[in-house]
Amino acid sequence: MVSQFRVGQYRAFRRIGFAVAAMIALTGSAHASTVTAIGGSAGFEATGAAGNDVIGSVFGYFGAQLYADGPLKVEYTYLGKEAGDTNSFLVLGNLQFSTATSAYGDTASETVALAGLLNFAFGANQATPTVINGFNPSASSGPNFFVSFYDQFGNLGALSGTSGVIAFDDGGNPTDSDYDDLVVRFTVSAVPEPTTWAMMLLGFAGMGFLAYRRKSKLALR
Ligand SMILES: [Ca+2]
Ligand SMILES: [Ca+2]
Ligand SMILES: [Ca+2]
């Protein structure tokens, strides 16, 4: 009787083990969560007096748009600024960072449900969008932003990745021809896809059924 129960228990645990392994495999097969710079022209930011006083000279892309390669979560961190104008950073149309009031290190986030453009914009000396991701002009004397996938490991030349910076040039006046007028770091992480959630729910339902069946078998004895 005791050994019989143990065998049944072992089988149930083995089944649960298979279900968990299948769920992990499904989660692992979810789309890689990366962001890609589309379009634009490659180059280094300027150095010197008219250079970037927040991140220095790094390799990246002028006039590029940032595209999510699949469902993901993006965290934005306000790194700093060197600008006379009061610039802003918006996500989904809502003001997140202002060079007048935000503290370096402040964060904001968005969840992208499907592959597509990230939903951020910059306001040049205003709290409403001036340059929207998707409509970032290439080499321009007006407001535009620079994108780089540089990180603490270097990562020079990368066109896509999981972390990088977005550096804004407000085009405010001729003596401010640089890309440090509001600098943001972005970091992406995975979110489970709808099919993964569905499979997980099925897995939990299956485990519940196994437990129920075992219980009723024991009750019959
Ligand atoms: Ca500067
Ligand atoms: Ca500046
Ligand atoms: Ca500037």
Domains in the chain, number = 2
What is the distance in A from the centroid of ligand 1 to the CA of 166? 15
Are residues 159 and 87 located together in one domain of the fold? yes
What is the distance in A from the centroid of ligand 1 to the CA of 74? 27
What is the distance in A from the centroid of ligand 1 to the CA of 46? 9
Provide the pLDDT for residue 29.
45
Ligand nearest to the CA of 99: 2
What is the distance in A from the centroid of ligand 1 to the CA of 58? 14
Q: Write a three-state SS string for the chain.
A: CHHHHHHHHHHHHHHHHHHHHHHHHHHHCCCCCCEEEECCEEEECCCCCCCCCCCCCCEEEECCEEEECCCEEEEEEEEECCCCCCCEEEECCEEEEECCCCCCCCEEEEEECCCEECCEEEECCCCCCCEECCCCCCCCCCCEEEEECCECCECCCCCEECEEEEEEECCCCHHHCCCCCCEEEEEEEECCCHHHHHHHHHHHHHHHHHHHHHHHHHHHC
What is the distance in A from the centroid of ligand 3 to the CA of 203? 53
What is the distance in A from the centroid of ligand 3 to the CA of 93? 22
pLDDT (tens, 9 = 90+) of the chain, 221 residues, equals 455 556 666 666 566 555 555 555 555 445 579 999 999 999 888 877 788 999 988 889 999 999 999 999 999 999 999 999 999 999 999 999 999 999 999 999 999 999 999 999 999 999 999 999 999 998 677 899 999 998 655 666 789 999 999 999 999 876 788 999 999 999 999 987 667 777 778 888 878 777 777 777 666 66
Are residues 185 and 141 located together in one domain of the fold? yes
What is the distance in A from the centroid of ligand 2 to the CA of 179? 6
Are residues 136 and 212 located together in one domain of the fold? no
Are residues 136 and 93 located together in one domain of the fold? yes
What is the distance in A from the centroid of ligand 2 to the CA of 159? 25
Is the CB of residue 37 less than 8 Å from the CB of residue 69? no
Are residues 124 and 77 located together in one domain of the fold? yes
Are residues 55 and 68 located together in one domain of the fold? yes
Tokens of 3: 């050994």
Are residues 25 and 86 located together in one domain of the fold? no
Q: What is the pLDDT of residues 78-92, one digit of tens each?
A: 999 999 999 999 999
Read off the amino acid at residue 49.
Answer: A
Provide the pLDDT for residue 31.
59
Are residues 182 and 205 located together in one domain of the fold? no
Provide the pLDDT for residue 150.
82
Are residues 143 and 199 located together in one domain of the fold? no
Pairing of strands 72-80, 183-190: antiparallel
Provide the pLDDT for residue 6.
64
Provide the pLDDT for residue 14.
65
Domain span at residue 9 reads 2-30+194-220
Are residues 40 and 7 located together in one domain of the fold? no
Are residues 81 and 157 located together in one domain of the fold? yes
What is the distance in A from the centroid of ligand 3 to the CA of 124? 10
In this structure, how many other beta carbons lie within 10 angstroms of the beta carbon of residue 65?
19
What is the distance in A from the centroid of ligand 1 to the CA of 221? 80
Provide the pLDDT for residue 202.
82
Are residues 185 and 199 located together in one domain of the fold? no
What is the distance in A from the centroid of ligand 3 to the CA of 170? 5
Ligand nearest to the CA of 177: 3
Ligand nearest to the CA of 47: 1
